[in-house]
A and B are shown apart, each in its own frame.
Chain A
């Protein structure tokens, strides 16, 4: 999937026409957004705390190699096997190798944006290994074959009726769409069997804590505990930027993460993993692997885009974004949607493929306001637009039009004759003061560009007509 300008506009207009989707997105983003406001208001000195967190994230990225080496040393000492993956394909191969070495046929997964990013499920399925998503929302979209539509609420685009139908098809059991506890219970029973039968659990990771070599996973459902406790092998795939040097840093991170995300002070479970089960532990996995994923991240360090790696994937910017709230997550054409997706997808997956995303913003700045690390996403959206021009990513006619317009506007007589020409040229497509543009230029036709007025303001001003209309005031 990609999201060029035309693709983004097209999918966004499809989403805007979908009344059910609009009300689902509105409900979820409003709930998360107001929950965030209330949760942060309850914390003493929360604004200086956010400033402090920004400093932590910024200082950590400045010395990331050193911190990653410390993490590796301490995690290895605790018995964790640390792997490094330069690309998504490398990461998939590492995970697949571990699975095949243990003869695993069934894998249970907890929610992970990193594994969505690298399309791990496809790789496992092709190798004959069944990956089962266990976060309720992720399971729903796995059954539907959809990508996630929100970083923390992946199935907001699905209705209870669609979900009931899929659950019945999957389990063979009848369940009423209006019985949401019943749907949840059916998922619990079905997935419980998968947890107990799976030979390997796969998770993402919210924080790697260098000081102790620990991995932190946050969740509400408890599936991330089951995935990391029940099967004999646990593999985590984590982006290399998700690193906190110390537990003091991790505590600030955790103090802001759930509050910014769902409006909770902490998620129901904060699961901290420091190696496999010790010899005398009552239970737990025999092996723990952490795959540190680069996939285009390290090359951003030291550039004007380094700041984007401060992101902790809370989803607050999605909820605040007027464009996301209309367009929905799928229009972004990759697992990362909203303002963070609009910046990170072009950087990780290619500006040419995601050329529409830097324009999927009104630059209102709401994303920066709500970001726990105050990441300046609007600045980077502008930088990406500049890159598009410099790298000639945009279609030739668009930059030609822009150049012609810039030249014309800078030159008064050219502007006068140019607009006079447009007034003539627009006649066939101007109706009732607006232009009927072809759908390629105006997907969805939901809004219309106004036509140029019959006379320019300049013209009317010069004619002196306004003096009379002014009531004699000098």
Chain B
């Protein structure tokens, strides 16, 4: 008998009828999702910039990239930046667009200064940004560079993880990540240190759309 059959038959011998509980509904009722998102992520050592429009958000990205003195930037080709000619909009930087640029994305990301991404959803309660993999959506872009910069419209905000899973539709991509701040550790004498493996800074430009 295979290990699989052995384990399953052992479990089946002791199966009991059970009524599986239904979903637990979120009890949250935030008056202002954007405000809660901003406060929570800022408190968790992330950095949130608010913009009144998409155009203003793009201007803020320009300012942030210059202030970071970025040279090499990797960008995910996804909403709201999808199809945008980043080289024309921000000519001062060397760009690699996931899914489009020639060359090895892993080696570009390993030396990039900033990874720029969109987001699929965002959670107000925990200040989390949800990013899915897919065509033009690199995982390494949001992971290897020391700075992860995300542009997020307020329309994709939802209250919390319970409301997010309740609204979930279709099959998930190969990878999905909830990011709730910069990489952190307290493994040396419980002292908080930022940026151990993932990005040292997590910056979100949150704009009204």
Contacts and interface: CB of A to CB of B under 8 A. Distances in A.
A270 B181 CA distance: 11
A260 interface: no
B86 interface: no
Contacts of A266: 126, 128, 161, 178, 180
Interface string B151-182: 00000000011101110100111111111111
Contact of A282 (B27, B98, B190, B199): B98
A228 to B, nearest CB: 8
A85 interface: yes
Contacts of A271: 175-177
B163 to A, nearest CB: 9
A222 B135 contact: no
Interface string A373-391: 0000000000000000000
Interface residues of A, number: 98
Interface stretch (B11-19, B51-59, B60-68): B11-19
Nearest to A275: B174
A271 B160 CA distance: 16
Nearest to B196: A221
A58 B191 CA distance: 37
B21 A52 contact: yes
Given A62-B17, A278-B174, A225 B187 contact: no
Contacts of B3: 84-86, 90, 294
B110 interface: yes
B140 A44 contact: no
Given A153-B187, A159-B189, A284-B139, A269 B125 contact: no
Contacts of A255: 160-162
Q: Is the interface of B mostly helix, strand, loop or mixed?
A: loop
B186 interface: yes
B171 A212 contact: yes
B193 A225 contact: no
B89 to A, nearest CB: 21
Nearest to A280: B135
Given A65-B11, A254-B161, A270-B178, A283 B183 contact: no
B138 A282 contact: yes
Contact of B189 (A43, A160, A223, A301): A160
Contacts of A159: 189
A44 B28 contact: yes
A136 B189 CA distance: 12
Interface stretch (A242-250, A346-354, A405-413, A418-426): A242-250
18 contacts: A55-B21, A56-B21, A136-B187, A160-B189, A187-B196, A192-B110, A214-B172, A221-B198, A222-B199, A248-B24, A251-B165, A255-B162, A268-B181, A280-B135, A282-B134, A282-B136, A283-B139, A301-B11
Interface of A: 24, 27-28, 31, 43-45, 49, 52, 55-56, 58-60, 62-66, 68-69, 78-79, 84-86, 90, 134-137, 140, 153-156, 158-160, 163, 180-181, 183-185, 187-188, 191-192, 195-196, 212, 214, 220-223, 225-226, 228-230, 240, 245-248, 250-252, 254-255, 264-278, 280-284, 292, 294, 298-299, 301-302
Given A24-B189, A184-B193, A269-B177, 11 more contacts: A49-B24, A60-B20, A63-B20, A221-B185, A225-B177, A230-B106, A248-B165, A251-B166, A268-B44, A282-B139, A302-B14
